[in-house]
């Protein structure tokens, strides 16, 4: 600093340059990718992911297509933390990252074929856990639904997706639509 507590244009420029350099370093640290998981067909990972760990690239494998029948309107791949919508076996939305309940616990997301039972709006709150479940699309017993939620923490058994995806599922999955979780 020049003078008695006064900043000059040169001082401000130096501070801005230092902040920009620090921001670049932080951005570089935050974007360093995790070590690659072993790849499946075409180099696409089929390894299970842990909470908050994106299943990237978000593409479907032959196994995904095999495990989710063409008649299903919504598919959930618990191992890869992916979900998508389809019509006649053709993907219409996604795949997108999701966060299920932790496997092997009482909160694990149930596997199997289900059907959409009912839907709630953007302000719905769970009467069991007293947590927001925006744009919930309920498909399994026990209040299991697709809804907006954390993609970095396990759910209580629901399928957490982004708010955008939750609203899309809510609008495009009619009551009675088949949901397959595998």
Domain boundaries, the chain: 1-32, 44-181
The β-bridge relationship of strands 178-181 and 74-77 is: parallel
- The per-residue pLDDT for 6 is 63
- The per-residue pLDDT for 64 is 82
- The per-residue pLDDT for 60 is 86
Residue 59's φ and ψ, nearest 5 degrees, are -125, 155
DSSP string, 88-141: TTEEEEEEEE-B-PPTTSTTPPPPEEEE--EE--TT-B-TTT--B-TT-EEEET
Q: Give the predicted TM-score (pTM) of the model.
A: 0.69
The series of mean pLDDT values per 10 residues for the chain, 182 residues long, is 54 49 37 30 36 57 88 97 96 97 97 98 95 98 97 96 98 98 97
Burial tier of 1 (Cβ tally within 10 Å: 0-12, 13-18, 19+): exposed
User: Among the CATH numbers 2.40.30.10, 2.40.440.10, 3.40.50.970, 3.40.250.10, which is that of 44-181?
Assistant: 2.40.440.10
Token representation of residue 10:
């040169």
Cis amide leading into 164 (omega within 30)? no
């Amino acid at each position: 600093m020049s003078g008695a507590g006064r900043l000059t244009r040169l001082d401000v420029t130096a501070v801005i340059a230092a902040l920009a350099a620090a921001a670049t370093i932080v951005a570089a640290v935050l974007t360093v990718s995790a070590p690659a998981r072993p790849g499946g067909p075409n180099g696409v990972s089929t390894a299970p992911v842990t909470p908050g760990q994106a299943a990237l690239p978000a593409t479907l494998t032959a196994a995904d297509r095999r495990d989710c029948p063409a008649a299903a309107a919504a598919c959930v791949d618990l191992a890869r933390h992916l979900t998508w919508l389809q019509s006649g076996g053709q993907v219409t939305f996604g795949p997108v990252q999701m966060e299920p309940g932790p496997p092997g616990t009482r909160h694990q997301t149930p596997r199997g074929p289900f059907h959409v039972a009912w839907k709630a709006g953007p302000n719905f709150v769970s009467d069991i856990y007293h947590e927001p479940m925006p744009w919930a699309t309920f498909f399994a017993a026990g209040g299991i639904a697709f809804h907006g939620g954390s993609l970095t923490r396990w759910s209580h058994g629901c399928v957490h997706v982004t708010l955008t995806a939750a609203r899309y599922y809510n609008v495009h999955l009619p009551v009675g639509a088949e949901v397959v979780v595998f």
